Structure 1
Amino acid sequence: MWEALIHGIVLAFGLILPLGAQNVFVFSQGAVQPTLWRAMPVVVTAAFCDAALILLAVMGVSLIVLSLAWLKTLLYAIGVLFLLYMGFLTWRSRPNLEQTQTELFSPKRQVMFAASVSLFNPHAILDTIGVIGTSSLAYSGSAKWAFTIACIIVSCIWFLSLSIAGRLVGGLDKSGKLLRGFQIASALIMWGMALYMAWNLFAPGNLSYGE
């Protein structure tokens, strides 16, 4: 069981570490929100969505669902639209010392955006299904649960740490220029993901796997 636990920790950390729309969004919200507590909707939503994807992958449900071509197409189409919209709003925002509460993302919008970059993220889906789900096949019983729980715990700790790091950077960036840079990077990554997903959506045969 200890082997499965360590395997889950190392694997989950390796998958979640690379820069992506999800990580950038969690970090940027931690930076721009006035307190760490105000950024918790993003942290909780991202952690919950990752936990759900991991559980579905380990149980094999996600592989069955994504074997339906029409459902894959629908998920990709919704993902493209969400990411384009999110990138537009993120690009428009201008963090500064005079920023008012009404200009910040509300908890509802934080949840919506965090869920979008988590659930409509082709890399996250492929990581959970192709890597975590496949790796879990090596274990059974308590060892499999240890592996699964380790992956979920790493995900939760990582998103909380990103938010805290963002808050620290936000406290040091009095001019707002650094935060603006992160928001630009976040918007560009979201648009890049949208283009990638659109390519997979319209390119012949790209969504035909699993049939």
Structure 2
Amino acid sequence: MLQPFIHGFILALGLILPLGVQNVFVFNQGALQPRYSKVLPVVITASLCDTLLILLAVLGVSVLIITSFWMKMILIGGGFIFLLYMGWTTWNSKLSNEKEEMVHKFSLRNQVLFAASVSLLNPHAIMDTVGVIGTSSLKYQGEEKVIFAFACILVSWIWFLGLSLFGRISGKLDKSGRFLLGLNKISAFVMWGAAVYLVISLFS
């Protein structure tokens, strides 16, 4: 039973590591919020959304998405617009002198809504989670499939907790906010690149 756990853990870790809007948002909230308890709604929301996507993937929803041209069209089209907008928003963010304003902007409700949107409306999260994890889970049955799914879900919860803690440490060390600003610029390029890649993948 160790093999499906290791497989799921390594696979999920590889998918969640790349820089993207979901990771940047969790990291930034960790750096911006005055207390760590204020970041937990973001961590819990992002983790629950990933859990939902993983469960849908393992239960076979991935087959519907992968085999449906129109579902792919909807995901890629919506994802292209979403990534362009998020890249533009991230690029134009100014953190250095607006920390209190940013904290006020992301109230508890806004935190939860934004974390859910970057988790569930991100086409890469959907295609990676539903496509890659869903396809990989097909080799397992019964208890082994449960263990595989559990390992994938566990990675999400550990990752977002750790990422928010790292953001908090960085926020305390970097009072000027230059590091976060630089990270946002890089993330914006990644999002725009991902948007272009989505369009290319549609015609490939």
Q: Smaller-chain TM-score range?
A: 0.7 to 0.9
Query: Which is worse superposed, 135-144 or 192-201?
Result: 192-201
TM-aligned CA deviation for residue 163 of structure 1? 0.8
Between the aligned partners of 1:71 and 1:23, the Cα distance in structure 2 is: 25
TM-aligned CA deviation for residue 37 of structure 1? 2.4
Query: Which is worse superposed, 63-72 or 102-111?
Result: 102-111
Match of 1:209 in 2: none
Report if the CA contact (8 A) 1:28-1:182 is conserved.
no
TM-aligned CA deviation for residue 153 of structure 1? 1.0
Pair 1:76–1:129, CA change in 2 (3 A): same
Match of 2:96 in 1: 96
Pair 1:199–1:111, CA change in 2 (3 A): farther
Instruction: Supply the AA of the counterpart residue of 2:71.
Output: L
Between the aligned partners of 1:76 and 1:108, the Cα distance in structure 2 is: 28
Match of 1:195 in 2: 196
Report if the CA contact (8 A) 1:32-1:104 is conserved.
no
Match of 1:167 in 2: 168
Instruction: Please give the secondary structure, in 1, of the residue aligned with 2:99.
Output: coil
Q: Deviations along 1:143-200, whole A, 9 cap, x unmatched?
A: 2111111110111110111011011101110111111111222222222222323444
TM-score between the two structures when normalised by the length of structure 2: 0.84
Match of 1:36 in 2: 36
Report if the CA contact (8 A) 2:21-2:86 is conserved.
no
Match of 1:145 in 2: 146
Between the aligned partners of 2:81 and 2:108, the Cα distance in structure 1 is: 21
Q: In the comparison of the two structures, how many residue pairs are matched? A: 203
Q: Deviations along 1:48-84, whole A, 9 cap, x unmatched?
A: 2211221111111122134322222222222222222
Instruction: Supply the AA of the counterpart residue of 2:13.
Output: F
Between the aligned partners of 2:29 and 2:195, the Cα distance in structure 1 is: 21
Instruction: Supply the AA of the counterpart residue of 1:95.
Output: L
Query: Which is worse superposed, 162-171 or 25-34?
Result: 25-34
Pair 1:92–1:18, CA change in 2 (3 A): closer
Between the aligned partners of 1:162 and 1:36, the Cα distance in structure 2 is: 12
Between the aligned partners of 1:107 and 1:66, the Cα distance in structure 2 is: 35
TM-score between the two structures when normalised by the length of structure 1: 0.82
TM-aligned CA deviation for residue 97 of structure 1? 5.2
Do structure 1's residue 79 and structure 2's residue 96 form an aligned pair? no
Query: Which is worse superposed, 128-137 or 100-109?
Result: 100-109
Between the aligned partners of 1:137 and 1:15, the Cα distance in structure 2 is: 18
Between the aligned partners of 1:141 and 1:188, the Cα distance in structure 2 is: 42
Alignment of 1:1-211 (within 5 A): 1-96=1-96, 99-101=99-101, 104-201=105-202, 203=203, 206=204
**Unmatched runs of 5 consecutive residues or more in structure 2:** none
Pair 1:113–1:66, CA change in 2 (3 A): farther
Instruction: Supply the AA of the counterpart residue of 2:77.
Output: A
Between the aligned partners of 2:109 and 2:67, the Cα distance in structure 1 is: 31
**Unmatched runs of 5 consecutive residues or more in structure 1:** 207-211
